[in-house]
């Protein structure tokens, strides 16, 4: 009950606007997979640059 009450705005937002965060979750998943292929990230600015080029 407490969990539902704390997430009430997010749940109601879906029913009012029919919007989810699936696109953001998908992008997050792709970025994590890309990071794992590189076996870690050492140069964060370059990683963000590559992500913006690949997924942007």
pLDDT at position 17 is 79
Q: Say if residue 56's pLDDT is above 80.
A: no
- Regarding pTM above 0.85, the answer is no
End-to-end Cα spacing for the chain:
39
For the chain, give every domain's residue range: 2-55
CA distance linking residue 39 with residue 10, whole number of Å: 35
What would the pLDDT profile of 18-29 be if each residue is shown by its tens digit?
777 788 888 888
What would the pLDDT profile of 22-54 be if each residue is shown by its tens digit?
888 888 888 888 888 877 778 888 888 888 888
């Amino acid at each position: 009950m407490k969990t539902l009450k704390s997430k009430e705005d997010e749940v109601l937002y879906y029913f009012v606007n029919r919007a989810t965060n699936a696109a953001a979750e998908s992008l997050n998943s792709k970025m994590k997979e890309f990071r794992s292929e590189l076996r870690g990230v050492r140069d964060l600015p370059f990683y963000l640059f590559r992500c913006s080029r690949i997924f942007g």
